[in-house]
Amino acid sequence: MKKAVSRVYLALIYLFLYAPILLLVVFSFNDTDTKSRTVWSGFSLRWYEMLFQDRMLLQALTNTLIIAVSAAIGATLLGTLAAIGISSMKSWRKKVVMNITNLPMLNPEIVTGVSLMLLLVFLANLFGVQLGIGSVILAHITFCLPYVILSVLPKLRQMDPNLYEAAQDLGCTPLRSFFKVVLPEILPGVITGMVMSFTLSLDDFIISYFCSGTTQTLPVFIYSMTKKRVSPEINALSTILFAVILVLLLLINVRTGKVGGRKGKEAQEF
Amino acid sequence: MKSKAASAPYLVWMVLFIVVPVLLVAYFAFTDSSGAFTLENIARVGQYSNVFLRSIWLGALSTVICLVLGYPVAYLISKSSLKRQSVLLMLIMLPMWMNFLLRTYAWMTLLEDSGLINSFLSLLGLPPFHMINTQGAVVLGMVYDYIPFMVLPLYTVLSKIDRAVVEAAQDLGANGRRVFLRVTFPLSMPGMISGVTMVFVPSVSTFIISKMLGGGANLMIGDLIEMQFLGSAYNPNLGSAISLVLMVLILICMGIMNEFDSGENEGGGMMI
């Protein structure tokens, strides 16, 4: 009896989580005029056709990918170096730096977005440029940095500090001993940080919304679509994105045999 | 390792992109459009106390609903077999990978006056039920978007509870309910604190969910801030003042939450 109740409860929760998504998917194949998008009137792929002809969408997709790749690389380089420096700091300095580093994670996203916008507008005026891809990349690097630092720091802590010195005793230059000894040790953390940065950047709406000027990223484009409130095109886009995510997650799962990934990690490490 | 210099570029970045922006918000909050010092913006925030109260109320309500719905989910997942655990967890996380705008949009099509739920009701011959643009719709949207953030930290903590502790309580004669109330529940406190923070902060400061599901009538702090910067009521000084108040409120909340949890996180910075 008790078991049955808990099964039903879990089933209801999962129904609550998935029913809206499934309905989006079903209605993306609906052959309807734009007015009555909640009435089923036959199978059609025409919303997908419209989607692939949408120049704005393709542009937004390209922008998003450029931004995510640049932000991931930038945040990983800067964050890994930062973690190495921070790990050798004395306790009070470390505390100050870590508290400031955590600020973008603790602050409401809208406050981070607004404060970065104030700075970026100021900088843009100073250099006589417009907000655009460049400013979004700067903003994304900023909010991805804490995730990189927090995934590299524990790896540094686990590492035997004598290894680095041993490498130097054996004749390595500091740079060489970094690449030969330190980097291989912390690489899993570096990669986790990079993947997290990439996916956080892909998914970000709030900060991009404030820092992008007239440039559109994919989430900003989606937002402008939801404002129009009419087109089943958005259902088609959701379906494609959901399918891509599903396939990627299944692939990762099969490869590593692990659940998790960025948001799980984020939630569990918080 | 003597490598403090490695963090030099980051320290510059940190000051420029974390410290300076916060100072800029404070600067704008205490000046008027000509740049002269004023307290007027901060004073005007008081006029919006109803918006603040509404946001805190809706955010708190969503958090409580997420906790009440999410705790049993996390508990049941942590009790199932290891193989099932990974599938069930994966299914909790999967929707999180979809952009929250799309998930919120999905509820728009469901809740509208001519939406799916109302079409279904009319099929059954029932009168239509007005749902969109109400506070209930906003809370529903927030619960839907943020419940995984409650389930995951709870699951992490619950699955790490030492079985021996539970068995010891049973050996000492506690029944199932007592074991839960006296052992499992107190031990899951850190997970609850993370979950509550992770749901409450984005709920209180949301501006999209309230806009999409709440219409114009259920303005929240986030909407108010957005309007001052990108919307119709352009006034970055007032917007900064509201942001500053919001930031201080959230940081105070976090500080209080952290006090509850301080035993667990000693020496590792603020939250980590």
Give the tens place of pLDDT for each residue, A80-135.
Answer: 999 999 988 888 899 999 999 999 888 999 999 999 999 999 999 999 999 999 99
Mean pLDDT, chain B, whole residue set: 89
Whether the predicted interface score ipTM is above 0.85: yes
Residues 6 or more apart whose CB falls under 8 angstroms from that of A164 comprise: A177, A178, A181, A182, B1
| Angle at A175 (CA atoms; ends A170, A180), nearest 5 degrees | 60
Give the tens place of pLDDT for each residue, B18-48.
Answer: 999 999 999 999 999 888 899 999 999 999 9
Give the tens place of pLDDT for each residue, B53-106.
Answer: 999 999 999 999 999 999 999 999 999 998 899 889 989 988 888 889 989 988
Q: How many domains, chain B?
A: 1
**Cβ within 8 Å, pair B7-A209:** no
Q: What is the DSSP string of A102-155?
A: HHHHHS-HHHHHHHHHHHHHHHHHHHT--SSHHHHHHHHHHHHHHHHHHHHHHH
Q: Which residues of B touch A38 (CB under 8 A)?
A: 109, 112, 114-116, 119
**pTM to 2 decimal places:** 0.88
Q: To the nearest whole angstrom, how far is the Cα of A55 from the nearest Cα of chain B? A: 20
Lookup: tokens for A187: 């690489």
Distance between CA B153 and CA A224 in Å, rounded? Answer: 33
Q: Which residues of B touch A182 (CB under 8 A)?
A: 1
Whether residue B118 contacts residue B166, with contact meaning beta carbons closer than 8 Å, is answered with no
Is residue B11 in a domain? no
- C-beta neighbour count of B19 within 10 angstroms: 12
Residues in chain B: 272
Question: Residue A118: which of B28, B88, B116 has the nearest Cβ?
Answer: B28
Residues 44-83 of B with CB under 8 A from A: 69, 72-73, 76-77
Is residue B266 in a domain? no
Lookup: tokens for A204: 């970000």
What is the domain range of residue B206? 16-261
Main-chain dihedrals φ then ψ at residue B270, nearest 5 degrees:
-75, -55
Query: What is the average per-residue pLDDT within B199-203?
Result: 94
**Cβ within 8 Å, pair A164-B25:** no
Residues 6 or more apart whose CB falls under 8 angstroms from that of B67 comprise: B150, B192, B195, B196, B199
**Cβ within 8 Å, pair A209-B230:** yes
Distance between CA A220 and CA A224 in Å, rounded? Answer: 6
Handedness of CA A225, A226, A227, A229 (dihedral sign): positive
Distance between CA A108 and CA A207 in Å, rounded? Answer: 11
Residues 117-146 of A with CB under 8 A from B: 117-119, 122, 138-139, 141-142, 145
Q: For the stretch A88-97, what's the b/e string if a residue is b when 16 or more beta carbons lie within 10 angstroms of its beta carbon?
A: beeeeebeeb
Give the tens place of pLDDT for each residue, B112-144.
Answer: 888 888 888 888 888 888 888 999 999 999 999
CATH number, residue B148: 1.10.3720.10
Distance between CA A201 and CA A41 in Å, rounded? Answer: 38
Distance between CA A54 and CA A222 in Å, rounded? Answer: 13
Burial class of residue B43 in the structure, from the number of CB atoms within 10 Å of its CB (0-12 exposed, 13-18 middle, 19+ buried): exposed
Residues 6 or more apart whose CB falls under 8 angstroms from that of A135 comprise: A120, A123, A124, A211, A212, A213
pLDDT classification of A230: cutoffs 50, 70, 90: low
Distance between CA A211 and CA A133 in Å, rounded? Answer: 9
Q: Does the pLDDT at position B2 exceed 70?
A: no
Domain boundaries A56-218, CATH class: mainly alpha
Measuring CA to CA, how many Å separate B70 from each of B77, B107, B152, B172, B176?
11, 20, 9, 30, 20
In the 3-class helix/strand/coil scheme, how is B54-90 assigned residue by residue? Answer: HHHHHHHHHHHHHHHHHHHHHHHHHHCCHHHHHHHHH
Whether residue B223 contacts residue B26, with contact meaning beta carbons closer than 8 Å, is answered with no
Q: Does the pLDDT at position A247 exceed 60?
A: yes
Is residue B10 in a domain? no
Q: Does the pLDDT at position A268 exceed 50?
A: no
Q: Which residue of B has its CA nearest to A237?
A: B102
Q: Does the pLDDT at position B190 exceed 80?
A: yes
Tell me what percent of the residues of chain A surpass a pLDDT of 70: 90
